[in-house]
Chains A and B, each alone.
Chain A
């Protein structure tokens, strides 16, 4: 049986998704201020890493990494509403790429599982 990552389309799918997804995030008034002053190219690599995680792809990020990586944002007010906004863009991106609904649901569930670590709960 092939994995979620393979079913969605592996690295090719991540590459197709990353610009669409990141553009949605940067245009969203609810969350775009969290990206002020960050380097675009480095951030795009991180967005790619996030999508790889969500697609069930290879990664070595631990819950602790997620906590550390977002701690400064939590301090600046990162909360559930912002996480919800990102989840919304993840779903919309996959839909735009014609990923079947059941796979979108599985990817969303993987991303959802990082919520508490990202928000430092």
Chain B
């Protein structure tokens, strides 16, 4: 595939030409991709028909694209907006057409044609009829401000197709799962936890959610009752600020999580939220024994007001 593209003047990024460096990663929209074209790819990439152009010898017609291009746009209707706490709203969108996504992926929500932001899906296909998002109001947030103040039930909004590699794949149902979120990083993990339970995951599932102060905690009661319902699901809300009420762990979520779980050999780890938490968390999880292929992450990068095109989650 890579040689064919190059021979026809289509230049895509590539490096080792030996199926190792994963620089020539592409995605099939239709057609079959043999496992030999997916050497060493993470299971979430395989699940989305990604392949390496240098290792792919097509036997039939396929439609392909570079990752993250050609995202379609579709229209949705606001079904519900409610406050989860003083700063975070839960937005529920209804769609007339079938929407393919995995819990934990993200979409772009369009305020208008020029302004969009990425938000993680907190809903789960098969459990929730509507798409669900947790949106925190940011001081300079063009889109979050619009969602909090202007958007009303019944409004039509545009969203993109879902994308992202941070989701649950049911290939090892007895594996232990560690999930760490800060702020609205809880949204994708709230989806992933419920998706894993829904798909019959039997291994221990431990969720740590970090907030600066008790008033920023959300969905706590619901997660507590989920933990009562499922013996193998464990939920620990953490407070990094000074006031720590009963029932909360004191400290940053990742500090508490890595202290309580020091040997992560064989574990699957999910990290979502503050970019710094995510990058140090990845390293700490790896050093604690988790293999790189078992670490899934979604850093929430904020968009400066001056930027027009960058994506944030």
A77 within 8 A of B: no
Q: Are B287 and A27 in contact (CB under 8 A)?
A: yes
Q: Are B21 and A41 in contact (CB under 8 A)?
A: no
B177 within 8 A of A: no
Chain A interface size band reads: 20 to 34
Q: Chain A residues near B15: list those with CB within 8 A.
A: 60, 65
- A49 to B54 alpha-carbon distance, docked (Å): 15
- A46 to B15 alpha-carbon distance, docked (Å): 11
**Chain B window 3-41, contacts with chain A (Cβ cutoff 8 Å), 1 for yes, 0 for no:** 000000000000111101110000000000000000110
**Chain A window 4-36, contacts with chain B (Cβ cutoff 8 Å), 1 for yes, 0 for no:** 000000010001001100110011000000000
Q: Chain B residues near A57: list those with CB within 8 A.
A: 18
B282 within 8 A of A: yes
CB distance from A54 to the nearest CB of B (A): 12
Q: Are B21 and A40 in contact (CB under 8 A)?
A: no
- A62 to B279 alpha-carbon distance, docked (Å): 31
Which residue of A has the minimal Cβ distance to B54? A60
Q: Are B286 and A46 in contact (CB under 8 A)?
A: no
Q: Chain B residues near A15: list those with CB within 8 A.
A: 40
Q: Are B283 and A37 in contact (CB under 8 A)?
A: no
- A44 to B16 alpha-carbon distance, docked (Å): 14
Q: Are B287 and A37 in contact (CB under 8 A)?
A: no
- A19 to B17 alpha-carbon distance, docked (Å): 22
Pick from B17, B287, B295: contact of A41, CB below 8 A: B295
Q: Chain B residues near A19: list those with CB within 8 A.
A: 286, 291-292
Q: Chain A residues near B283: list those with CB within 8 A.
A: 26, 40
In the complex, how many residues of chain B place their beta carbon closer than 8 angstroms to a beta carbon of chain A? 18
A59 within 8 A of B: yes
Which residue of B has the minimal Cβ distance to A20? B291
Q: Are A60 and B18 in contact (CB under 8 A)?
A: yes
CB distance from B218 to the nearest CB of A (A): 29
Q: Are A60 and B16 in contact (CB under 8 A)?
A: yes
Which residue of A has the minimal Cβ distance to B20? A49
Given contacts A26-B283, A26-B287, contact A44 B292 (CB under 8 A): yes
Pick from A22, A23, A49: contact of B16, CB below 8 A: A49
- A37 to B283 alpha-carbon distance, docked (Å): 10
**Chain A window 65-81, contacts with chain B (Cβ cutoff 8 Å), 1 for yes, 0 for no:** 10000000000000000
A105 within 8 A of B: no
- A33 to B17 alpha-carbon distance, docked (Å): 29
- A89 to B148 alpha-carbon distance, docked (Å): 53
- A60 to B17 alpha-carbon distance, docked (Å): 6
A93 within 8 A of B: no
Q: Are A45 and B21 in contact (CB under 8 A)?
A: yes
- A45 to B41 alpha-carbon distance, docked (Å): 10
Q: Are A49 and B21 in contact (CB under 8 A)?
A: yes
- A58 to B286 alpha-carbon distance, docked (Å): 27
Q: Are B21 and A26 in contact (CB under 8 A)?
A: no
Q: Are A45 and B20 in contact (CB under 8 A)?
A: yes
Which residue of A has the minimal Cβ distance to B299? A39
Pick from A22, A37, A39, A48: contact of B20, CB below 8 A: A48
Q: Are B16 and A61 in contact (CB under 8 A)?
A: yes
Q: Are B282 and A40 in contact (CB under 8 A)?
A: yes
CB distance from A121 to the nearest CB of B (A): 23
Q: Are A59 and B286 in contact (CB under 8 A)?
A: no
Q: Chain A residues near B291: list those with CB within 8 A.
A: 19
For the A-B complex with A40-B283, A44-B292 known, give 15 more contacts whose Cβ atoms are closer than 8 Å: A11-B39, A19-B291, A22-B292, A23-B286, A26-B287, A39-B279, A40-B279, A40-B292, A41-B292, A49-B20, A52-B18, A58-B20, A59-B16, A59-B18, A65-B15
12 contacts between A and B (CB under 8 A): A19-B286, A23-B287, A27-B287, A40-B282, A41-B282, A41-B295, A45-B20, A48-B21, A59-B16, A59-B18, A59-B20, A60-B18
* Interface pairs A-B: 4 shortest CB-CB: A44-B292, A58-B18, A40-B282, A60-B17
